[in-house]
Structure 1
Amino acid sequence: MKKDFIDYGKLVDDAMHIIVFKVLKLVGERGLPGEHHFFISFLTRHPGVVLSEMLRNKYPREMTVVMQYQYQDLKVDSRGFGVTLSFSGRKESIYIPYSAITTFADPSVQFGLQFREMDHDEDTMEIFDDEIISTVASTINPDQKESGATKSATQKKNKDDNNVVVLDQFRSKKNIK
């Protein structure tokens, strides 16, 4: 059934997922800067979540992980991220799709995101568009060479900047007393 409204909540969640992707990608490349650390809560039964049975049984609905000192092998992709964390002295590799995240917080800078909890159907889950991912990746790695399409768009934008029209000349001049 086709929706006859714009789901702004979903659009906002998608934008926030891109923020999480971008932050984790930076951390994967450069490590955690300064005092930054993350509290990430997610739905353990969400499609695509990879957890050991021990963790899934201990946290049957939702779980919060902390990424600060003891994390390894952070791998970030367009659907989610994988990381190895220590639980009661045991290392566990987990994978969390962005759509499973319910909260993302960095208390060191008082930053937090809270996502809507929705019914997730793996068949209808959307992944980030390749164009969005390449845009995000280029902002993460600004030293990367621009592709031909990106370069021509940038050149066109710079060329268009020379065609700025100042609207003040068209405004009526009223004396304001």
Structure 2
Amino acid sequence: MTTPACRNNPSHQNAPRAHPERSARLSCNLAPSLLLRGLLALAALQSITFLALAGLPPGVFVLLLVAATVVVIAEYRRLNAISGRLTTRERRWFWRQGGLQREFQFRGELVLWRWLIVINGRDLDGRRVQLVLARDSVSGDDWRRLQAALRYSRAGAT
């Protein structure tokens, strides 16, 4: 499958157009999303309101409130951990977080909406890679290039 040339791939200008092995390079800096953190806060508020209005016995209410708080804190940490660089080269995908770069392959469902991308994969050691990205996680140009690259990658994998 041929992927389109993009601004991040300087070699596309000299490459022959009919070459079947041409692949674009992509490099996107990802940052934690304010939008997703706001949605998480709204979901937490909704859960607390539901628990308060459910008329539960006090012991059950406190237990469920603690459970909801633990889930919200875990998800908040996960959202904040999505900070790094997503790159492609030679039809391979890489996730760099901190000083560690991991090559991964797509596994499971890929969500490509106008405002949300969910990437599920496994690195070469079998560890799970899951990236939940909102539109405000990257620049506008990088968002469009990332969506295009993901569409072409998944089409080639099936």
Same topology, TM > 0.5: no
TM band (smaller chain): 0.3 to 0.5
Which TM-score applies when normalising by structure 1?
Answer: 0.29
Higher helix share: 2
Larger radius of gyration: 1
